[in-house]
């Protein structure tokens, strides 16, 4: 049976929130106060975006609040967008509202289905659905072009807008600056009828690109330069991916955005601080259009919060694009990229990013978040979830010289360890199976011919446990002609197998990780480090390319235990003692493993 959810009913009751009590913040306070006062209680919802008349025919809005995430489909989303997504969708979820996904595609440009699809995937992957139903299509700002044009004609007729034929240079000069008021355009005094005629000519393609613009008529002396008669429509002969060649005039972003919000009955329009100066125009425009009866009342309100700045990372689509097009990284989804696709391929989970967004909170002051905060969120998430496994990243062979004699020639002894050493309550950890024989791989650094002070691992005469296997006693090593160690030699102490009654009969100071030569599998392991050497790679207009870390990727051939070799793409593991790794989404195949380092076991950033 298929159930269809009526479009635009509020998201179902929030699923078990990922963590307990939410910390309050200024946005939550605003929303709670609006809910208390019933600021938006009288709103109607027409089932789809639309003007005042459309919504008046609808029903009381079932969504208590409406928020929106309005990306421009001109690149892949990054960690800063993840913050915005978690805020907007999270608030709608927490307050019985709906969050809209809207493509802000008012700027005519070549079709960007690649970006559109990647944005849809990213929002879904983060765990959200939009527009009130799991299968709803995202909204598109370009669907509102007709209304935007009608609203512009209304402004012209009401004397709130005029066609300006000054050149770009004249307009710039007459705008004034912070210390100097602007000067009225000679075209400002035209009658509404003249303006309407001109504006229609603009629409009908009778004038050259750039020869004139439609401007709001506000105040050329305003201390806020954004209020000095901002341009609201320009002529631009460009084919739009949605509307084709229907239009040769396009609305400016500052004009389009408030209208998009209002048509969608957004209540709280949340954006980053750089839009603070635009708020007076946002309010001015919506006041004009609501008093004219074109848009529903009360209009949306804009609130600004600080954007995410993360150390050792760049959060600008344009600069990230440069890294891709200059082949500094393998693509938008390179695991070193702070894009959502990059983070995902690196092993980040949606839960870790949601916790990160909650932890950094929402404020109005710009600050830098330390990269280690993000890593800490992933580590905490994987600590509980990721299966353990042993992998030897820098292998040297260990030969148990008495194995054939005490265990039997060619004998392979089966061993098991739990996949989760500390399973959550009520969960039984699966077991992993592997074998030990005469030869095993160990880390090169786990043997010292002459041990430094305090060294507890293998050196001649010392005993250690092969984790999950037996106690062994080191007897020496063999070397090649250059003095490089080729094999470490040891003897197995019989009857000390982990999990058997004799396991504790011999005390050792260390257990080391290992993988059997008989069942270990070669794996490509990509050891990623920070992409930039500088904490603020693009601060102060610096050339961020120069700050790239030349050794942000080192690839090693490791040997992994069978449970890791048979992983599925995207599976995450803790390689015991090394860190958290993910089977690469694109290149990994069971039996032919490729792993990415997601995050180390301990914070290594401050050091």
Rounded to the nearest whole angstrom, what is the least distance from the CB of residue 548 to ligand ATP in the complex?
A: 19
- Residue number with CB closer to ligand ATP (312 or 573): 312
- # residues near ligand ATP by CB under 6 A: 14
From 93, 317, 336, 463, residue interacting with ligand ATP (rule: CB under 6 A): 317
Smallest Cα–Cα separation from 111: which of 239, 246, 236?
Answer: 239
Alpha-carbon span 185 to 153, nearest angstrom: 20
Q: Alpha-carbon distance 310 to 388, whole Å?
A: 30
Q: What is the C-alpha to C-alpha distance for residues 114 and 109, in angstroms, rounded to an integer?
A: 13
- In sequence order, what are the residues at sequence separation of 6 or more whose Cβ sits closer than 8 angstroms to the Cβ of residue 351? 18, 381
Tell me if residue 484 is catalytic: no
CB of 270 to ligand ATP, least distance (A): 7
Pick the closer one to ligand ATP by CB: 311 or 513. 311
| Beta-bridge mates of residue 511 | 465
Structure tokens at 21: 């009590």
**Residues within window 365-384 making contact with ligand ATP, judged by CB under 6 A:** none
End-to-end CA distance of the chain: 57
Percent composition of the chain: helix, strand, coil (DSSP 3-state, to 5): 30, 25, 45
CB of 271 to ligand ATP, least distance (A): 5
Strands 395-400 and 514-516: unpaired
Which of 443, 410, 484 lies closest to 578, judged by CA?
443
Give the binding range for ligand ATP (CB under 6 A) out of 89-97, 308-316, 504-512, 547-555: 308-316
Least Å distance, CB 371 to ligand ATP, is 14
Residue 385 backbone dihedrals phi, psi, to 5 degrees: -105, -35
Q: Report, in Å, the least distance between residue 68 CB and ligand ATP.
A: 8
Active site residue: 203, 215, 217, 317, which one?
A: 317
Q: Does 257 bind ligand ATP (CB under 6 A)?
A: no
CA distance linking residue 211 with residue 236, whole number of Å: 10
Q: Reduce the DSSP state of residue 94 to 3 states and report it.
A: helix
Strand ranges inside 104-260, DSSP E: 139-140, 161-164, 213-216, 231-235, 249-251
Nearest approach, Cβ of 318 to ligand ATP (angstroms)? 6
3-state secondary structure of 232: strand
Cβ closest to ligand ATP, residue 84 vs residue 354: 84
Name which of 524 and 534 has its Cβ closer to ligand ATP: 534
Any catalytic annotation for residue 264? no
**Do 136 and 129 contact (CB within 8 A), yes or no?**
yes
Residue 330 found at the interface with ligand ATP (CB under 6 A): no
State which of residues 140, 142, 265, 315 lies at the interface with ligand ATP (CB under 6 A): 315
Q: Give the residue, chosen from 25, 44, 58, 72, that forms a contact with ligand ATP under the rule CB under 6 A.
A: 72
326-352: burial string, b at 16+ Cβ within 10 Å, e else? eebbeebbbbbbbbbbbbbbbbbbbbb
- Which one among 80, 338, 389, 520 touches ligand ATP, defined by CB under 6 A? 80
Q: How far is the CB of 372 from ligand ATP (least distance, A)?
A: 18
Of 332 and 573, CB closest to ligand ATP? 332
- The yes or no reply on residue 272 touching ligand ATP (CB under 6 A) is yes
- Our finding on whether 307 is near ligand ATP (CB under 6 A) is yes
Q: Tell me how far apart the alpha carbons of residues 100 and 262 are, in angstroms, rounded to a whole number.
A: 12
| Interface pattern 84-123 for ligand ATP (x via CB under 6 A) | x---------------------------------------
The encoded tokens of residue 588 equal 């990994």
| Segment interacting with ligand ATP (CB under 6 A) among 81-89, 259-267, 335-343, 589-597 | 81-89
CB of 350 to ligand ATP, least distance (A): 17
What would the 3-class secondary structure string for 370-438 be?
A: CHHHHHHHHHHHHHHHCEEECEECCEEEEEECCHHHHHCCCCCEEEEEECCCCCCCCCCCCEEEEEECC
Of 250 and 447, nearer to ligand ATP (C-beta) is 250
Shorter beta-carbon distance to ligand ATP: residue 196 or 545: 545
Q: Which of 270, 266, 272 is nearest to 286 (CA)?
A: 266
Please, what is the angle between helix 26-37 and helix 79-94, to 10°?
30
Which segment (154-162, 189-197, 311-319, 489-497) binds ligand ATP by CB under 6 A?
Answer: 311-319
Closest CB to ligand ATP among residues 25, 394: 25
Closest by Cα among 306, 300, 307 to 282: 300
We find the least distance from the C-beta atom of residue 123 to ligand ATP, in angstroms, to be 11
Does residue 259 interact with ligand ATP by CB under 6 A? no
| Options 175, 307, 319, 577, the catalytic residue | 307
- Minimal distance in Å, beta carbon 83 to ligand ATP? 4
Contacting residue, 46, 71, 230, 469, with ligand ATP by CB under 6 A:
71
In the annotation, is 72 catalytic?
A: yes
Instruction: Report the catalytic residues.
Output: 72, 307, 317
Binding positions for ligand ATP, rule: CB under 6 A: 70-72, 80-81, 83-84, 271-272, 307-308, 315-317
């Amino acid at each position: 049976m298929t159930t269809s959810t009526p479009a635009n009913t509020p998201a179902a009751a929030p699923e078990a929130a990922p963590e307990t009590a939410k910390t309050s913040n200024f946005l939550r306070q605003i929303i709670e106060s609006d809910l208390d006062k019933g600021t938006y209680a009288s709103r109607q919802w027409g089932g789809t975006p639309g003007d005042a008349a459309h919504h008046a025919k609808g029903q009381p809005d079932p969504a208590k609040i409406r928020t929106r995430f309005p990306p421009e489909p001109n690149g892949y989303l990054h960690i800063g967008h993840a913050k915005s997504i978690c805020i907007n969708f999270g608030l709608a979820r927490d307050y019985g509202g709906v969050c809209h996904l809207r493509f802000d595609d008012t700027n005519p440009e070549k079709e960007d289905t690649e970006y559109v699809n990647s944005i849809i995937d990213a929002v879904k992957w983060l765990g959200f659905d939009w527009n009130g139903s799991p299968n709803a299509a995202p909204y598109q700002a370009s669907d509102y072009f007709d209304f935007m044009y009608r609203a512009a004609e209304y402004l012209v007729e009401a004397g709130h807008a005029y066609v300006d034929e000054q050149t770009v240079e004249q307009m710039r000069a007459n705008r004034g600056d912070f210390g100097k008021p602007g000067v009225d355009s000679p075209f400002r005094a035209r009658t509404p009828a003249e303006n309407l005629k001109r504006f229609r000519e603009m629409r009908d393609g009778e004038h050259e690109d750039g020869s004139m613009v439609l401007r709001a008529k506000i105040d050329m002396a305003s201390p806020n330069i954004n209020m000095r008669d901002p341009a609201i429509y320009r002529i631009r002969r460009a084919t739009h991916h949605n509307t084709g060649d229907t239009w040769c005039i396009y609305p400016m972003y500052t004009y389009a955005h408030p209208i998009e919000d209002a048509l969608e009955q957004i209540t709280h329009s949340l954006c980053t601080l750089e839009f603070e100066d635009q708020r007076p125009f946002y309010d001015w425009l919506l006041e004009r259009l609501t008093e004219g009866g074109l848009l529903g009342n009360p209009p949306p309100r804009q609130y600004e919060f600080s954007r995410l700045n993360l150390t050792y990372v760049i959060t600008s689509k344009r600069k990230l694009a440069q890294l891709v097009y200059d082949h500094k990284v393998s693509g938008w989804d390179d695991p070193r990229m702070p894009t959502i696709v990059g983070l995902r391929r690196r092993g980040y989970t949606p839960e870790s990013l949601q916790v990160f967004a909650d932890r950094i909170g929402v404020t109005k002051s710009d600050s830098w978040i330390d990269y280690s905060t993000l890593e800490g969120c992933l580590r905490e998430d994987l600590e509980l979830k990721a299966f353990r496994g042993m992998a030897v990243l820098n292998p040297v062979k260990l030969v148990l010289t008495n194995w054939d004699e005490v265990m039997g020639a060619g004998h392979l002894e089966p061993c098991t360890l739990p996949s989760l050493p500390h399973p959550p309550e009520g969960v039984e950890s699966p077991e992993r199976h592997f074998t030990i024989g005469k030869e095993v791989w160990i880390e090169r650094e786990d043997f010292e011919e002459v041990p430094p002070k305090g060294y507890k691992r293998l050196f001649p005469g010392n005993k250690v446990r092969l984790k999950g296997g037996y106690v062994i006693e080191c007897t020496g090593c063999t070397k090649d002609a250059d003095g490089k160690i080729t094999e470490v030699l040891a003897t197995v102490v019989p009857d000390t197998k982990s999990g058997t009654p004799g396991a504790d009969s011999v005390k050792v100071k260390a257990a080391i990780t290992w993988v059997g030569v008989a069942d270990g599998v070669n794996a490509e392991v990509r050891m990623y480090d920070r992409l930039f050497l500088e904490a603020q790679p693009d601060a102060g207009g610096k050339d961020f390319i120069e700050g790239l870390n030349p050794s942000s990727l080192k690839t090693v051939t490791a040997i992994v235990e069978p449970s890791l070799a048979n992983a599925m793409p995207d599976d995450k593991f803790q390689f015991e003692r090394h860190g958290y790794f993910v089977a690469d989404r694109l290149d990994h195949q069971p039996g032919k493993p490729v792993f990415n380092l997601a995050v180390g076991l301990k914070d290594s950033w401050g050091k």
